[in-house]
Structure 1
């Protein structure tokens, strides 16, 4: 069960870890940003490592999409752009940080990889060996989220044009998923 303090800590942790990485943030930084004491952070999360784990990108950003599969690419891109406009955390952009800067990068890589592959494959219906189309969608969305945030490659695009253009690229991978063979 979460509380306002718990939620404030996670929000601050996600933003700060996303901006500075694990090693660049202290529990005191997070506490100050959340407007609470470092002691409360430790009481609720027990350690910086456990807080980092709790603040990782969440594949649930896929579960509440209420659009037909034929519009999923546009919906995913639209959400990245809306989070950017609102100045909120971009989960796709945080994936590289979550792995590279984790206290145990290999474990983080394995866990995040499996969570995202499972979630994306389920949403797009990818049952192929290695979930190749799901992997491609993840790569495209992670690249889009990170380059949009870091490099500003699309800053001069019109919002709707970018949704249509990049959404079509993502959608092509989603549409390429072969429908499952009918059971006899």
Structure 2
């Protein structure tokens, strides 16, 4: 069970890291935003790196998609839009920050490639060199997640229209993978 100060600090850290990135945010920034002392933040989380790790999205993006392959593109897009509707953090949008602003970008890149790219390749059955179809789907979803969050694209569209339109674009790559395999 977490204490209120713990959750408040995590919420502030999540928001600040998401807005400005790892390097631009200090423990003092997070503490001030949360309304606590920097000493309390350090006592609870031990380091900025551990606090950053604690706020990284841990939602299983790919493992729990229990839909037919023919509906996978729509399901991926639907989940991004549902997280937006619920005000939740968008893991696809966090990829650039999670790599470029990580304490060790090389390790972060490796871990994220494994989680996202390798996971997508397994999900769609991509055995091509360099996981070409999975790379394309990952790029499409990363771009979609980021532009929905940052540029607020598709805000004026009907929810179902976005799912159908962008889901079809993603699905085309999934279908091409299936045809190639």
- Normalising by structure 2, we get a TM-score of 0.84
Please name the residue that 1:86 is paired with.
Answer: 86
Please name the residue that 1:3 is paired with.
Answer: 2
- Kindly report the root-mean-square deviation, in angstroms, between the aligned alpha carbons of the 2 structures: 2.6
Please name the residue that 2:65 is paired with.
Answer: 65
Please name the residue that 1:110 is paired with.
Answer: 110
Aligned residue runs from structure 1 range 123-134, under 5 A: 123-134=123-134
Unpaired stretches in structure 1, ≥5 consecutive residues: none
Q: 1: CA distance between counterparts of 2:30 and 2:116? A: 26
Please name the residue that 1:146 is paired with.
Answer: 146
Offset of 1:50 from its aligned partner?
2.2
Q: 3-state SS of the aligned residue for 1:108? A: helix
Offset of 1:9 from its aligned partner?
4.5
Please name the residue that 1:15 is paired with.
Answer: 15
Q: 3-state SS of the aligned residue for 1:177? A: helix
Please name the residue that 1:122 is paired with.
Answer: 122
Is 1:45 equivalent to 2:37 in the alignment?
no
Please name the residue that 1:175 is paired with.
Answer: 175
Q: 1: CA distance between counterparts of 2:71 and 2:92? A: 19
Q: 2: CA distance between counterparts of 1:8 and 1:66? A: 33
Please name the residue that 1:158 is paired with.
Answer: 158
* Number of residues of Structure 1 aligned to a counterpart in Structure 2: 180
Offset of 1:24 from its aligned partner?
2.8
Unpaired stretches in structure 2, ≥5 consecutive residues: none
Residues 30-87 of structure 1 show CA distances to partners (whole Å, capped at 9, x for unaligned) of 3455566644543443210122133334461222222222111111111111111121
- The answer on whether the counterparts of 2:57 and 2:89 sit within 8 Å (CA) in structure 1 is no
Q: 3-state SS of the aligned residue for 1:170? A: helix
Q: 2: CA distance between counterparts of 1:137 and 1:59? A: 18
